[in-house]
Amino acid sequence: MPPLLQFVLALALLLAAAHFFTHAAQRIGLALGMSPFVVGVFIIAIGTSLPELVASLLSVRDGASEIVPGNVLGANAANLLLILGTVSAMAPGGRILLGEQYLFIDLHFLLGATLAVATTMADGRIVPLEGAILLAAYVLYIVYLMAEGRTASAEAEQAEAAPLVTRRAAPLLRDTGILVASGAVIYVGGEQTVSSLQMVAGAAGISPAIASVTILSIGTTLPEFAVSIVAARAGQAALAVGNVLGSCVFNALAVAGAAGLASGSRGVEVTDKLRFFALPFVGASALLFYLLTQDKRISRWEGLLLLVLFALFMVKIGDLG
């Protein structure tokens, strides 16, 4: 089987399993009495980033840690430019209004998380101590979000987007079975995705780091893309923005942090091509998005600008391969 086809099939398996895992976890959380806001913060935002987390941890285990920073930086570039650009460009009325307090918590932590992960990558390696610090910062983000972001309107918005769930035993047992089975499939799909990505990179004559920034990162952000498009079409574009920003913070702090902590004495390798181009570009993209949202709205034209920047990023990173 050609390496690219093997990668596509493995990634499709990983994404499908993550979809079932996230939705089963979401239903279980609601059935157990968790509020829609908590489910949205913990389960949906984290669940849609499971492919990035699994691929990163398995790449560290397989001695291909350079895939991790490529996946984190590429995924955040896709989130900020491709997904949010698309959502903004197709938003009803030609703009997204950002009125929720928790969105601005995410915006501030987006800059902080970007600065934190950039600091750990600056010397070309993420060591376990730095990984632990990044994970601690993510815990701080969750605690702060729960303390400051749970407004009545935020709860209502998340409740409107959540499925209707009862506490009947049969669905709960069924969803638990789906959770366990899909978790096993996520592991298998993640293994195959990482191994096939390395084969694709070898066949194309590019480094695994560049392949992870382009091919892998776009593929693993498909869950966020799908969730955001559905939310935007349903008139919940602001909710989509919040989910994507939460995913960016998760990637920068939790994914990079977990990989760094699991890397042992080797650390996570950050290649020069990522340090000197992808890292500054993603940092500048986060700052640009922050500045664009200071008037609490994102226009369609600003969304189109983000899409143009993403296209330029893909062209340039491809040339560096």
Q: Are 47 and 186 in contact (CB under 8 A)?
A: no
234 CB-near residues (< 8 Å, 6+ apart): 161
Q: Is residue 254's pLDDT more than 90?
A: yes
Query: Parallel, antiparallel, or unpaired: how do β-strands 95-97 and 125-126 relate?
Result: unpaired
pLDDT band per the 50, 70, 90 thresholds, residue 307? very high
Q: What distance in Å separates the CA atoms of residue 69 and residue 251, rounded to the nearest whole number?
A: 10
Pick the closest to residue 228 from 241, 216, 217 (CA basis). 241
Give the containing element (helix H, strand E) for 13: helix 3-31
63-109 per-position pLDDT tens digit:
888 999 999 999 999 999 999 898 888 777 777 777 766 677 888 99
Range scoring the smallest mean pLDDT among 57-61, 240-244, 245-249:
240-244
16-73 per-position pLDDT tens digit:
888 788 778 878 877 777 666 667 667 776 777 788 888 889 899 888 889 999 999 9
SS3 assignment, position 139: helix
Q: Is residue 234's pLDDT more than 50?
A: yes
- Tokens 């969304």 -> residue: 303
30 CB-near residues (< 8 Å, 6+ apart): 36, 39, 162, 163, 165
158-202 per-position pLDDT tens digit:
666 555 444 455 577 888 888 888 888 888 888 888 888 888 888
The interaxial angle of helices 169-204 and 50-61, nearest 10 deg, is: 50
Q: What distance in Å separates the CA atoms of residue 37 and residue 232, rounded to the nearest whole number?
A: 18
- The 3-state secondary structure of 57-78, one letter per residue: HHHHHCCCCCHHHHHHHHHHHH
pLDDT of residue 88: 84
Q: What distance in Å separates the CA atoms of residue 28 and residue 42, rounded to the nearest whole number?
A: 13
Please report, for residues 96, 243, 254, 297, the alpha-carbon distance to residue 292 in angstroms, rounded to integers and kept in the order given: 11, 18, 26, 8
Q: What distance in Å separates the CA atoms of residue 42 and residue 44, rounded to the nearest whole number?
A: 6
- How many other C-beta atoms can be found within 10 angstroms of the C-beta atom of residue 147? 9
Phi-psi region of 278 (alpha: psi -120 to 50; beta: other; left: phi over 0): alpha
Taking domain 3-320, whether its CATH number is 3.30.379.10 is answered by: no
Q: Are 179 and 21 in contact (CB under 8 A)?
A: yes
Q: Are 126 and 259 in contact (CB under 8 A)?
A: yes
Q: What distance in Å separates the CA atoms of residue 35 and residue 305, rounded to the nearest whole number?
A: 36
121-160 per-position pLDDT tens digit:
999 999 999 999 999 999 998 888 777 765 656 566 566 6
Instruction: Record the pTM.
Output: 0.85
Phi-psi region of 94 (alpha: psi -120 to 50; beta: other; left: phi over 0): left
pLDDT of residue 195: 85
pLDDT band per the 50, 70, 90 thresholds, residue 241? confident
In the chain, where the domains are located: 3-320
